[in-house]
Structure formats: C-alpha cells, structure tokens
Amino acid sequence: MKKISKNNPILLFDGVCNLCNHTVQFCIERDKNAQIKYASLQSDIGQNLLKKYHLDTTSLSTVVLIENNKAYVQSDVPLRLSRIFGGFWRVLYSFVIIPKFIRDGIYDFISKNRYKWFGKQDSCWMPTPELKNRFL
C-alpha cells in the first residue's frame, strides 16, 4: 500500500462515473504543482479513508476531498479545489457565500442524474503511466 502524505490533498471519486473521471482529468490539468493525489471511492485506500473520516463506505454520491486532515463533501469540494488551483480559479471560491443547503441541493441533483446524463463505465478508469504517481 502506498504511503499517504499528510501534505497532499486527496480527491476520492467514483471510479466508474464518467463525470467523475472527467472531473479528475480537469483537476489534473489545473493542478500545476501536482499537489492533489487521487483514489477511487471503491479502492481499498478510498474505503479506508472513508472509514477513517466516518463517511458512508457504500455511497458513491459525492466526491470527497481530504485536506489538512479534514474531509469535505458535496459542494464544498469544488470550492476548495478552486483555492488549490489558484490564479483565476480562486475567484470561484466566492460562491461559498451561497448558503450550503442551496449549493448542496444543486450538487445532489447533478449527482443523482450523473449516470443518466454522462454515463458509466464497466470498470474504474486507469491513469496513464505518466500520471500513475498521482494516484494512490
């Protein structure tokens, strides 16, 4: 099992969800310093981290960002990612002023329809050899 650094944010994602996989690729392109590490929710590491942070190990309805020893879910994840990306992307963090129940409601609506709208793969996406070191 790979050693997990406490300094790197970790993004857990649904490995068979096309939207989630595109989100990971979007993050990789914008994470210029390669800070973020990735793991699927279905993986052993993903399951262990979900347990560690007392999150549901059977639900695949949200991505999870672990940063500074705290787990973030739902609409908090893209907002925190925008801060990690820096530059222009930091401006998006200002959406934090929208009440969480509204942000999470929109997030949940998209999450519930993601397979219907974006499709699903039969197996988890595998990173290219160049990206393998960014995955746990």
Residue 9 has which token pair?
Answer: 């944010």
Tally of domains within the chain: 1
- pTM as predicted: 0.87
Residue 1 located in a structural domain:
no
Model pLDDT for residues 62-118, shown as the tens digit of each residue? 899 999 999 999 999 999 999 999 899 999 999 999 999 999 999 999 999 998 998
Question: In the beta sheet, which residues pair with residue 91?
Answer: none
**What's the pLDDT score for residue 1?**
44
Distances in whole angstroms, Cα of residue 31 to Cα of each of 27, 56, 71, 133 = 6, 27, 19, 14
Residue 57 located in a structural domain:
yes
Rounded CA-CA distance 131/22 in Å is: 14
Rg (CA), the chain: 14
Rounded CA-CA distance 107/75 in Å is: 6
